[in-house]
Amino acid sequence: MWLFLFWLSCSRYLQIPAFLTPDETNGLLTRSKQLLEDLNLDEHPLTKFTTGDKNHVGDDYFLGSGDKVRYFLEEDAVDANGNLTREKHKSVNKIGHALHELDPSFRKVTLENDRLQALVRDLKFHQDPVALQSMIITKQTHIGGEVPEHNDSCYTSPPTALGFWIALEKCTPQNGALSFLPGSHKTTPIAKRFVRLPGGGTGFERLISPQDEAKAGESCKGEYIMAECEPGDLVLIHGSVLHKSERNTSPHTRFAYTFHMIESAPYAIYDEKNWLQPTASMPFSRVL
């Protein structure tokens, strides 16, 4: 109960130490590394993952990844000639987006986990929650890219996203631990969302004007606090809280597993412009 009150009253992120056992955590880490080894470069379009405003990831490989397990590379991992600049496992930024459905190890932790279901019931954040996308973020040594300041609430009206982020390795200031802007969920409007564009590909659609965004930015200036984590810690991320992570400048990887949970109809409407759309063969996964 005290955890819940803390979550309600403060920053809108909640760190739950040792949510996964060491065996569960090591199991996911080992599986993540196996998946990296499984990457077949002959069948890969060398799609890079970037979080900038440009239409970088609007290709079929990305758009079709909602019901698959696919690999997205670091920006610096491919040279001008289309060759990898390092070993393949060190070139991957993230793997996504249907691990929670398709990979038995990740499915067990996400959809077949009594502890997680009990937490979701206790939080009372959603009435009928579904998991819609999952990722392994690898933050490789020296190359693992920064994730700029953002919030996650772009999927539904009203906004209902809740991020579940699990550290698979120790997260420190040097290897790109997450950090949060306390209280920003109250002051920061959702300014834009990542959508499928009518002409093809993806891009950001503005929900408020740049002027209003700048004004809102003024009112939510503050100091980020860092969530250093031990392997197995769970961090719950309210969909409207601003968060980010820095580039990994250290010799230590920072593997994390994350998935997003939203409310389903009729409690919230899923936007048909969202880049990620459920398919007939893989509707969003019920959590309870």
Ligand X SMILES: O=C(O)CCC(=O)C(=O)O
Residues that bind ligand X (CB under 6 A): 137, 147, 152, 163, 165, 176, 178, 237, 243, 245, 256, 258
Structure tokens at 187: 């002051």
Residue whose CB is less far from ligand X, 97 or 196? 97
Task: Give min distance, CB of 260 to ligand X, in A.
Answer: 7
Token match 């929900």: residue? 207
- β-pair type (285-286, 156-157): unpaired
Residue whose CB is less far from ligand X, 120 or 137? 137
The residues, ordered by sequence, that sit 6+ positions from 265 with a Cβ below 8 Å of its Cβ are none
Of 121, 102, 232, 229, which Cα lies nearest the Cα of 177? 229
Residue whose CB is less far from ligand X, 40 or 97? 97
* Nearest residue to ligand X on Cβ basis: 245
Task: Give min distance, CB of 19 to ligand X, in A.
Answer: 15
CA distance 214 to 244: 18
Residue whose CB is less far from ligand X, 43 or 220? 220
Q: Are 76 and 143 in contact (CB under 8 A)?
A: yes
CA distance 129 to 112: 14
Of 42, 125, 79, 120, which Cα lies nearest the Cα of 287? 120
Task: Give min distance, CB of 180 to ligand X, in A.
Answer: 10
Q: What are phi and psi of 218, to 5 degrees?
A: -60, -40
Token match 């996308």: residue? 133
Residue whose CB is less far from ligand X, 218 or 244? 244
Task: Give min distance, CB of 258 to ligand X, in A.
Answer: 4
Residue whose CB is less far from ligand X, 93 or 264? 93
Task: Give min distance, CB of 106 to ligand X, in A.
Answer: 15
The residues, ordered by sequence, that sit 6+ positions from 9 with a Cβ below 8 Å of its Cβ are none
Element holding 107 (H helix, E strand): helix 104-110
Residue whose CB is less far from ligand X, 139 or 196? 139
Task: Give min distance, CB of 43 to ligand X, in A.
Answer: 26
CA distance 281 to 278: 8
Task: Give min distance, CB of 101 to ligand X, in A.
Answer: 18
